[in-house]
Amino acid sequence: MKILVSGGTGLLGQGFLRVLREKGEHEVRCLVRRTSPVERLEGLELAYGDAGDAGSMVRALRGTNAFVHVAGVQYTPEVLEAMRRAGLERLVIVSSTSAHSRFEFRSAPRLVNEALLPGSGLRWTVVRPSMIYGSELDHNMHKLLRFLDRSPVFPLFGSGENLWQPVYYEDLARGLYAALTKPGTDGQIYDLPGPRPLTYLDLVRTAADTLDKKARIVRIPAEPVRRALLVAERIGLPMPVSSEQVLRLREDKAYPYEKARRELGYTPRAFKEGIALEAGRLREIGLVR
Ligand SMILES: NC(=O)c1ccc[n+]([C@@H]2O[C@H](COP(=O)([O-])OP(=O)(O)OC[C@H]3O[C@@H](n4cnc5c(N)ncnc54)[C@H](OP(=O)(O)O)[C@@H]3O)[C@@H](O)[C@H]2O)c1
The DSSP-derived string for 165-230 is: --EEHHHHHHHHHHHHHSTT-TTEEEEE--SS-EEHHHHHHHHHHHTT---EEEEE-HHHHHHHHH
Rounded to whole angstroms, how far apart are CA atoms 27 and 6?
A: 14
Q: Lowest-pLDDT range, 94-98, 190-194, 221-225, 261-265? A: 221-225
> Ligand 1, closest atom to CA 50?
32
The closest residue, in CA terms, to atom 44 on ligand 1 is 72
> Ligand 1, closest atom to CA 9?
43
Rounded to whole angstroms, how far apart are CA atoms 100 and 119?
A: 21
What is residue 158's predicted lDDT score, i.e. its pLDDT? 86
Max CA distance (Å), the chain? 58
The closest residue, in CA terms, to atom 5 on ligand 1 is 131
Cα 12 to ligand 1 centroid, rounded to whole Å: 8
Q: Which amino acid is at 226?
A: R
Rounded to whole angstroms, how far apart are CA atoms 190 and 126?
A: 6
Read off the pLDDT of each residue in 139-162 and give the average, rounded to a whole number: 92
pLDDT band of residue 151 (cuts 50, 70, 90) is very high
What is residue 131's predicted lDDT score, i.e. its pLDDT? 97
In the chain, the percentage of residues whose pLDDT exceeds 70 is 100
Q: Is the pLDDT of residue 100 over 90?
A: yes
Read off the pLDDT of each residue in 38-64 and give the average, rounded to a whole number: 98
Q: Is the pLDDT of residue 8 over 90?
A: yes
- 260 contacts 192 by C-beta, under 8 angstroms: yes
- The string of pLDDT tens digits covering residues 32-46 is 999 999 999 999 999
> Ligand 1, closest atom to CA 6?
34
Q: Is the pLDDT of residue 215 over 90?
A: no
Within 6 A (CB) of ligand 1 lie 6-13, 31, 33, 35-37, 50-52, 70-73, 94, 96, 129, 131-132, 137, 140
Cα 71 to ligand 1 centroid, rounded to whole Å: 4
> Ligand 1, closest atom to CA 139?
1
What is residue 188's predicted lDDT score, i.e. its pLDDT? 98
Q: Is the pLDDT of residue 240 over 90?
A: no
DSSP assigned state of 119: G
What is residue 245's predicted lDDT score, i.e. its pLDDT? 84
pLDDT band of residue 117 (cuts 50, 70, 90) is very high
Rg (alpha carbons) of the chain, rounded to whole number? 20
pLDDT band of residue 248 (cuts 50, 70, 90) is confident
Mean predicted lDDT score pLDDT of the chain: 96
Read off the pLDDT of each residue in 259-284 and give the average, rounded to a whole number: 97
Read off the pLDDT of each residue in 201-225 and give the average, rounded to a whole number: 92
> Ligand 1, closest atom to CA 75?
31
3-state per-residue secondary structure call for 71-106: CCHHHHHHHHHHHHHHCCCEEEEECCHHHHCCCHHH
Domain architecture of the chain: domains with CATH: 2-129 (3.40.50.720), 131-166+195-254+269-289 (3.90.25.10)
Which one is predicted more confidently, 157 or 1?
A: 1
Cα 70 to ligand 1 centroid, rounded to whole Å: 6
Cα 141 to ligand 1 centroid, rounded to whole Å: 17
User: Which of 4, 5, 6, 167 has most ligand 1 atoms within 8 Å of CB, for mutation?
Assistant: 6
